[in-house]
Amino acid sequence: MDEASLKLKIKEQGDKVRVLKTQKAEKDIVEAEVAILLEYKKQLENVTGESGSSSKSKNKFVLKTPKGTRDYNEKEMAIREKIFNTITGVFKKHGAVTIDTPVFELKEILAGKYGEDSKLIYDLDDQGGEKCSLRYDLTVPFARFLAMNGTQYQNIKRYQIAKVYRRDQPAMTKGRMREFYQCDFDVAGSYDPMVADSEVIRIMYECLTALNIGKFTIKINHRKILDGIFEVCGVPENSLRPISSAVDKLDKLPWEDVKKEMTDEKGLDPSIADQIGEYVKYKGGRELLEKLMNDQKLSSNKNAKTGMDDMKILFDYLEIFKILDKVSFELSLARGLDYYTGIIYEAVTEQSGPPTLADGTQITRKTKKESDELDESTVGVGSIAAGGRYDNLVGMFASSKKGNIPCVGVSIGVERVFSILLQKAKLEEVKANEVEVYVMSVVDGLLEERMRICAELWDAGIKAEFMYKAKPKLQAQFSVCDRDQIPFAVIIGKDELSRGEIKVKDMRSKEQGEGGGVLVKRTEMISELKKRLQALSS
């Protein structure tokens, strides 16, 4: 955009933000619109070479988080913690343990693992000493951990929920972040075929169900079947991965565009592309596998045969795990990452439609690149969980072939889950604190008495607060209960205290009026509150 249109945009967007603020719109909506405004201002700065606002000169500091990062406030954190607890609950039900790795790794550990996307790796400044980079995902550090501790960890079911870093082009308006969470579950070890694989898919299913993010489908395919198809169609061996990555775009692009990429960009014979086009149309279940197995050409290909044998076993196991009806065998599923060697899968949800920009344009998923993968940095679009089997990654770190450990895993797109649940939740209604009882006084302040009662409650394990003021107004104390959704109040007054009594008030029953509440003997306060809290939680 040129300077004039940008200035117009900034004016319009500024008005929009002001209106939203006047209407007291939800904070995350306002923030999203402010982000767009800032993006326009930034663009203007780039065009004109000067700052679009004078705030910089007024402040001693530019008060912001780095590009592509953000703070999460207490209500957002409450949602996030609930997500993490739900997911770890499922992982632990299946016997998983967690490990922790440093946020940065030696640069050479990450080198050569992410193809073209390596340019997105954040390096630490060379301040003398080792060259380090922030982790780009959790899979490579896990593989490094296994290779380092291989003798002890010939098999492990591990999960890790942690932040990863990608120095991607900033597009905050599109919700793309440079710092974001990944949530990985992986099973390492040599086992009988498809057993671990089927449990990983079951875990993916259990997580997404427990997260309550709406309907979803799990697409499944097998890298070896894909490779077999490419081989029988006549794709040259060194084109297998590029052609696979073209197929991976079929969920975003029509076949014509994908074919064009295969032929024009990647030099594939159009007749070969057409043959592939026939195969990748297929989706289904056991009957599709049957059909492929009856395909003489395909079943005589070694790769395809191995893949189809795996799929047959997998279908049986998924049926035992009661999730066969949740999966769809789709030959167009290719998954971006090079390191997959067997089963691959991806869960897509109906809820994950792209958000809309201020100018009404829909945000589309970032253009797929050679080594694209589950793009967890993009909010609200694409797959919600994905993974597969990668049997050779650990071997890349091991000094001998013996050091290799086959793995299969899944990454739950927690940032997408977060954005879906954030859209659903009314942020102002989220209870971030866990306070159960607010201790307040009617008049006279009675600060020390309020403190004494709080200490009693804490000693009894009751979550309690009081106002840090000597003489707080009653209405101010009620407002806190209201704002923080505190269910009960202990209300004290001089007269009651002298009689050895306090009042317990259920703050959710507004009709009682401010003077309401039940007189309780001071000595019975704890048991009365415990009784009420128990009733509340059951």
| Position 415 contacts a copy of itself (CB under 8 A) | no
Half-sphere exposure at residue 522, Cβ-oriented, CA atoms within 13 angstroms: 16
Greatest C-alpha distance within the chain? 95
Distance in Å, CB of 196 to a copy of itself, minimum: 5
Q: Which two structure tokens, joined as six digits, stand for 256? A: 């014509």
Residue with tokens 């004290």: 492
Consecutive H or E run containing 164: strand 156-165
107 or 266: CB nearest a copy of itself: 107
| Position 3 contacts a copy of itself (CB under 8 A) | no
Q: Which of 19, 451, 518, 519 binds a copy of itself (CB under 8 A)?
A: 451
Q: Which two structure tokens, joined as six digits, stand for 307? A: 């893949």
197 or 330: CB nearest a copy of itself: 197
148 or 519: CB nearest a copy of itself: 148
Q: Name beta bridge partners: 219.
A: 328, 346
| Position 444 contacts a copy of itself (CB under 8 A) | no
What is the rounded radius of gyration, in angstroms, for the C-alpha atoms of the chain?
29
| Position 135 contacts a copy of itself (CB under 8 A) | no
Rounded distance between C-alpha atoms, residue 366 and residue 498, angstroms: 69
Where in 467-496 is the site for a copy of itself (CB under 8 A)? 468-470, 484
Rounded distance between C-alpha atoms, residue 374 and residue 207, angstroms: 17
Contacts of 30 (CB under 8 A, 6+ apart): 17, 20, 21
Which span (45-53, 106-114, 367-375, 505-513) binds a copy of itself, by CB under 8 A? 106-114
Distance in Å, CB of 415 to a copy of itself, minimum: 13
Which span (9-17, 103-111, 343-351, 372-380) binds a copy of itself, by CB under 8 A? 103-111
| Position 458 contacts a copy of itself (CB under 8 A) | yes
Distance in Å, CB of 339 to a copy of itself, minimum: 16
Classify strands 156-165 and 97-98 as parallel, antiparallel or unpaired: parallel
| Position 94 contacts a copy of itself (CB under 8 A) | yes
The CA dihedral of 201, 204, 205, 206, to the nearest 10 degrees, is 120
Which span (46-54, 286-294, 314-322, 411-419) binds a copy of itself, by CB under 8 A? 314-322
Residue with tokens 């991965």: 241
Q: Is 158 exposed, middle or buried (0-12, 13-18, 19+ CB in 10 A)?
A: buried
| Position 432 contacts a copy of itself (CB under 8 A) | yes
| Position 270 contacts a copy of itself (CB under 8 A) | no
Does the annotation place 13 within a ligand binding site? no
Binding-site residues for L-histidine: 137-139, 166, 182, 186, 335, 339-340
Binding-site residues: 137-139, 166, 182, 186, 335, 339-340
